[in-house]
C-alpha cells in the first residue's frame, strides 16, 4: 500500500519524534504567534466511516483526536473564552500569554454530545457559532441535505435543474467529488437561485428526504442544550439565521440575517451577543458590504474561515482569521500548526 504523507505531515512527525512537547512553547515564541490572537475552527466532532451519509468534510476530528488536541491545548496554552477576547479588544488590553480561542461553526448536536464533555474534562472554553433557523428545528442544514441527496443511489434530478450536468457525470467521478462541485456551484449563484435549485431538488426527492437519517447523523442543537452549555464553559455567537452565502444577498437581506440571528440568541440566552462567523467564511463569502452589515447589526468581532493568526491589537476586527482543524489534522500536525502557524497552517 502506498502511503501518501504530505511534506507538512512528515515534518510534523519528525519534530514530534525528536522534540519533547515542552519545546512547542519555545517554537511558539520564536514564530511570533505568542501575544497574537490564535483561533481554532472546528465543525463537527464525530466517529465516522466511509459510508457516512452526510458531508464527511465537516467532521473536524473524532472524539479521540479532539481529546488529544485538548490535552495539548490545556497543557501548553491558555484557552481563553470569547468574552475575554471581546473585553481585551474593547479596552485595548493585551491578550493573556499563549491565548487560544476554540470555536465551532454551524451548531451540530455532536458539539453537545461529543465535544462538550471533553471541553469540560479539560476545562477548555469554546464558542459555538449557530445558524439560528436550524436550532431546535427538525430541518437539516441545507448543505447537509444536499450532501445526503447527492450521496444517495436513489436521487432524482430533473433536467432543468442547473445541477443536472454536475450530478450526472461520468461514473468514475466519486459522489463525494460531485458533492464538492455542486457545493462550489451553489456558492457562486445568487441566493434566490440557490434556494430555487435546492427547492427543486427537494420536491423531486420527497420520499428520499423522509428516509434521511438526520436524527442519527445530522441533527442540530436545541435551545435547552444551548442554554445548558452556555451555563458551563461554552459561549455562543451568530452564524447568521439561514446560513446563506452572505455576498450573494442584497444589503437588506444581509442586515436581516445579521440582526435576526443576534436577536434570537440574545432572547434565548438573555445576554448580549457580540460575535459572528460568516457562513463558509472563505474569501468569496464575505466582503466590505458584509463587514458593513456586521458592524451595523452591532457585532464587535467577525470571524472568517481564512487561515492564519491575528496581530493584536486587531487591525481587522471583522476579518479575524482562524486555523482550520480537519479530520486529517494528525496530532503532530495539530501541535506544529499551533506553535508554527505560518508554516503548518492551511
Q: Which stretch binds Zn ion (CB under 5 A): 33-41, 104-112, 119-127, 169-177?
A: 104-112
> What's the min distance (Å) between Cβ of 263 and Zn ion?
20
**Burial grade of 114 (CB within 10 A; 0-12, 13-18, 19 or more):** buried
| Using rule CB under 5 A, residue 55 touches Zn ion | no
Please say which residue, 220 or 293, places its beta carbon nearer to Zn ion.
Answer: 220
Q: Say which residues have a Cβ less than 8 Å from residue 299's Cβ, sequence separation at least 6.
A: 238, 258, 262, 273, 274, 275, 276, 318
Interatomic CA distance for residues 314 and 59, integer angstroms: 30
| Using rule CB under 5 A, residue 110 touches Zn ion | no
Please say which residue, 131 or 225, places its beta carbon nearer to Zn ion.
Answer: 131
Per-residue x/- mask for Zn ion, residues 221 to 260, rule CB under 5 A?
----------------------------------------
> What's the min distance (Å) between Cβ of 313 and Zn ion?
27
| Using rule CB under 5 A, residue 106 touches Zn ion | yes
| Using rule CB under 5 A, residue 133 touches Zn ion | no
Residue 152 Cα distances to 91, 155, 205, angstroms: 52, 6, 11
SS (H, E, C) 307-330: ECCECCCCCCCCCEEEEECCCCCC
> What's the min distance (Å) between Cβ of 41 and Zn ion?
10
Residue nearest to Zn ion (CB): 105
Q: Which stretch binds Zn ion (CB under 5 A): 13-21, 162-170, 275-283, 331-339?
A: 275-283
| Using rule CB under 5 A, residue 105 touches Zn ion | yes
Please say which residue, 279 or 332, places its beta carbon nearer to Zn ion.
Answer: 279
> What's the min distance (Å) between Cβ of 104 and Zn ion?
10
> What's the min distance (Å) between Cβ of 253 and Zn ion?
17
> What's the min distance (Å) between Cβ of 197 and Zn ion?
18
Q: Which stretch binds Zn ion (CB under 5 A): 60-68, 101-109, 201-209, 304-312?
A: 101-109
> What's the min distance (Å) between Cβ of 239 and Zn ion?
6
Q: Which stretch binds Zn ion (CB under 5 A): 54-62, 99-107, 164-172, 225-233?
A: 99-107
Q: Which stretch binds Zn ion (CB under 5 A): 97-105, 118-126, 148-156, 256-264?
A: 97-105
Please say which residue, 12 or 45, places its beta carbon nearer to Zn ion.
Answer: 45
Q: How many C-beta atoms surround the C-beta of residue 138 within 10 A? A: 9
Please say which residue, 89 or 305, places its beta carbon nearer to Zn ion.
Answer: 305
Contacts (CB under 5 A) with Zn ion, residues 304-343: none
Interatomic CA distance for residues 313 and 95, integer angstroms: 9
Contacts (CB under 5 A) with Zn ion, residues 279-298: 279
Q: Taking phi first (over 0 means left), then psi (-120 to 50 degrees means alpha), and beta for anything else, what does residue 97 get?
A: beta
Using CB under 5 A, list all residues that contact Zn ion. Answer: 105-106, 279
Amino acid at each position: 500500500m502506498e502511503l501518501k504523507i504530505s511534506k507538512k505531515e512528515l515534518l510534523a512527525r519528525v519534530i514530534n519524534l525528536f522534540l519533547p512537547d515542552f519545546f512547542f512553547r519555545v517554537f511558539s515564541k520564536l514564530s511570533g504567534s505568542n501575544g497574537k490572537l490564535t483561533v481554532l475552527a472546528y465543525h463537527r466532532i464525530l466517529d465516522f466511516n466511509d459510508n457516512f451519509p452526510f458531508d464527511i468534510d465537516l467532521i473536524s476530528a473524532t472524539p479521540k483526536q479532539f481529546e488529544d488536541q485538548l490535552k495539548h491545548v490545556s497543557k501548553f496554552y491558555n484557552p481563553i473564552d470569547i468574552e475575554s477576547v471581546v473585553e481585551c479588544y474593547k479596552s485595548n488590553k493585551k491578550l493573556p500569554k499563549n491565548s487560544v480561542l476554540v470555536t465551532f461553526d454551524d451548531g451540530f448536536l455532536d458539539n453537545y454530545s461529543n465535544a462538550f464533555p471533553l471541553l469540560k474534562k479539560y476545562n477548555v472554553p469554546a464558542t459555538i457559532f449557530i445558524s439560528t433557523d436550524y436550532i431546535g428545528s427538525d430541518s437539516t442544514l441545507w448543505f447537509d441535505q444536499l450532501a445526503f441527496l447527492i450521496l444517495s443511489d436513489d436521487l432524482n434530478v430533473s433536467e432543468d435543474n442547473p445541477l443536472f450536468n454536475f450530478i450526472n457525470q461520468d461514473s468514475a467521478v466519486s459522489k463525494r467529488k460531485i458533492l464538492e462541485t455542486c457545493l462550489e456551484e451553489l456558492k457562486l449563484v445568487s441566493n434566490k437561485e440557490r434556494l430555487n435549485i435546492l427547492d427543486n431538488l427537494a420536491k423531486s426527492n420527497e420520499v428520499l428526504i423522509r428516509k434521511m437519517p438526520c436524527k442519527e447523523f445530522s441533527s442540530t442543537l436545541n435551545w435547552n442544550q444551548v442554554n445548558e452549555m452556555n451555563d458551563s464553559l461554552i459561549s455562543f455567537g451568530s452564524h447568521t439565521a439561514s446560513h446563506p452565502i452572505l455576498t450573494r444577498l442584497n444589503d437588506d437581506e444581509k442586515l436581516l440575517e445579521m440582526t435576526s440571528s443576534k436577536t434570537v440568541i440574545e432572547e434565548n440566552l438573555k445576554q448580549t451577543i457580540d460575535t459572528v462567523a460568516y457562513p463558509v467564511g472563505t474569501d468569496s463569502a464575505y466582503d466590505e458590504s458584509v463587514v458593513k452589515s456586521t458592524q451595523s447589526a452591532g457585532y464587535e468581532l467577525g470571524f472568517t474561515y481564512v487561515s492564519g493568526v491575528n496581530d493584536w491589537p486587531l487591525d481587522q476586527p471583522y476579518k479575524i482569521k482562524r486555523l482550520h482543524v480537519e479530520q486529517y489534522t494528525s496530532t503532530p500536525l495539530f501541535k506544529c500548526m499551533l506553535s508554527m502557524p505560518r508554516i503548518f497552517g492551511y
